[in-house]
Structure 1
């Protein structure tokens, strides 16, 4: 029996800001990881590739408001920083962008 992945512990080294900000990033990271796990069976962020995060932004954030996309891009940038990956993600992940 394996333990569920602890996203809060995973992001602990890169999370800054208020309690509400940290909580939002953790919840969004869990949402991102759940969608990636559902689509590609990647159970932890350690298994994720740039294409998985780009797919999430393109397909799941496509119809969201610009403000929502902005906050998810910030969370994805934190995930990339934690993975020590040089990936760059832009806010322009909406329709026709």
Structure 2
């Protein structure tokens, strides 16, 4: 039996800021992970591609408020930084 992926440990190296901000990023990253796993069966961020993140931002967040999309975009950028990917999101 494998252990579930720990997003908190994954993001710990790139997160700074207040406790509330870090918790928001952990929560949002877990939601992103669940959505991508449900859609593409990609369980860990190491298997994600840029298209998965773009899908999340454009389709999953469709209909959400502009501020919600902005905060999720910040989390997506943190995930890309942690993956050391040169992905640019100007959505």
Length-normalised TM-score, structure 2: 0.98
Off by >6 Å, runs of 4+ in structure 1: none
Residue 36 of structure 1: aligned partner: 36
Displacement of 1:6? 0.3
- Runs of 5+ unmatched residues, structure 1: 93-97
Residue 23 of structure 2: aligned partner: 23
- Runs of 5+ unmatched residues, structure 2: none
Displacement of 1:62? 1.3
Using the alignment, how far apart are the partners of 2:81 and 2:6 within structure 1? 17
Using the alignment, how far apart are the partners of 2:37 and 2:62 within structure 1? 19
Residue 8 of structure 1: aligned partner: 8
RMSD in angstroms over aligned alpha carbons?
0.6
Length-normalised TM-score, structure 1: 0.92
Displacement of 1:77? 0.0
Using the alignment, how far apart are the partners of 1:39 and 1:52 within structure 2? 9
Using the alignment, how far apart are the partners of 1:71 and 1:42 within structure 2? 23
Number of residues of Structure 1 aligned to a counterpart in Structure 2: 91
